[in-house]
Amino acid sequence: MFDMPEFPMVGLFCADYYDTERWPITLTKYLSPYLESALFIKCEYKGTEGWYCPFMAVTTEAALIAGHRLGYPKILADNILFEKTEDGWKGSTMVGDVEHLGLSFKTDPLDSLALYSQVKSEFVRGNQVSDLVFTTILLKPPAEGPEVVMFSTSPPPLVKRVPGLALIQLGGPLEGLIESGTVTPALYQHFSMGPGQNPSGPVIALILIGLVVTICIVIFIWILRWVKRRKTAR
């Protein structure tokens, strides 16, 4: 279904969504804080390059359900660790007693930034893995199809970026995709989005206002009809 691009690439990440926007009423649970890790493979579909996700793990059922609706093949991890170490950060995804995806990141501001820039200039060829746009290619139902879903996302404002080197460990169904023990240029990035920058807040407010206005109109019409019936009955 998908074609390999001219320059094959694999991308991995581990993320801690420690502060998420809270939606009103019953939707609050869908944006509660959670951890996530994933693996993406660069591919091509009908002439468009993007990134297919064969593996994504999360720590809450709400994130699992929301991801499935979009087409992400999310699974519920037993534990996702994301913590600061003495010279970097460590991410580890456990499913049962098997580490499916491990990233040990060590800061290396000089050599790794040069390597990252070299990788980006030689293999990316455009904005498919840029800091501004990320094109995702998914299947619905997740990992099965036949429907193909493509969409592009932009990250929130970047607060902090630290270049370094990451040691990769893969197990379970991911074992062998990248040789465990591989060291690659990587980035630790911290994003942040304030309430005023997130469009969902105003949109939800408008929807709620619209619902209230609609209910008021319906009640007003019902009252007018009731009054009219009373006058007719007299």
CATH number for the region 10-195 comes to 2.40.400.10
Name the pTM for this structure: 0.71
Q: What percent of the chain has a predicted confidence (pLDDT) above 70?
A: 65
Q: What percent of the chain has a predicted confidence (pLDDT) above 90?
A: 25
pLDDT at 196: 44
Cα-based distances in Å from 172 to 18, 97, 102: 27, 10, 12
Calculate the average pLDDT of the chain: 75
Quote the Cα angle for 134-170-173, to 5°: 90
3-state secondary structure the chain: CCECCCCCCEEEEEEEECCCCCCCHHHHHHHCCEEEEEEEEEEEECCEEEEEEEEEEECCHHHHHHHHHHCCCEEECCEEEEEEECCEEEEEEEECCEEEEEEEEEECCCHHHHHHHHHHHHHHCCCCECCCCEEEEEEECCCCCCEEEEEEECCCCEEEEEEEEEEEEECHHHECCECCCCEEEEEEEEECCCHHHCCHHHHHHHHHHHHHHHHHHHHHHHHHHHHHHHHHHC
More confident residue, 193 or 8: 8
pLDDT of residue 86 exceeding 50, the answer is yes
Distance CA 17, CA 60 (A): 11
More confident residue, 224 or 59: 59
Preceding omega of 109 cis (within 30 degrees of 0)? no
pLDDT at 18: 80
More confident residue, 124 or 142: 142
The phi and psi torsions of 129 (rounded to 5 degrees) equal: -130, 30
Distance CA 182, CA 101 (A): 13
pLDDT of residue 46 exceeding 70, the answer is yes
| Residue 79 CB contacts under 8 Å (≥ 6 apart), including other chains | 59, 92, 93, 94
Q: What is the pLDDT of residues 4-36, one digit of tens each?
A: 887 778 888 999 888 765 544 334 445 578 999
Distance CA 233, CA 223 (A): 15
Q: Which of the given ranges, 62-71, 91-100, 111-120, has the highest pLDDT on average?
A: 91-100
Q: What is the chain's Cα-based Rg?
A: 23
Quote the Cα angle for 31-35-41, to 5°: 105
Q: What is the pLDDT confidence band of residue 55, given thresholds at 50, 70 and 90? A: very high
Q: Which two tokens stand for residue 30?
A: 């869908």
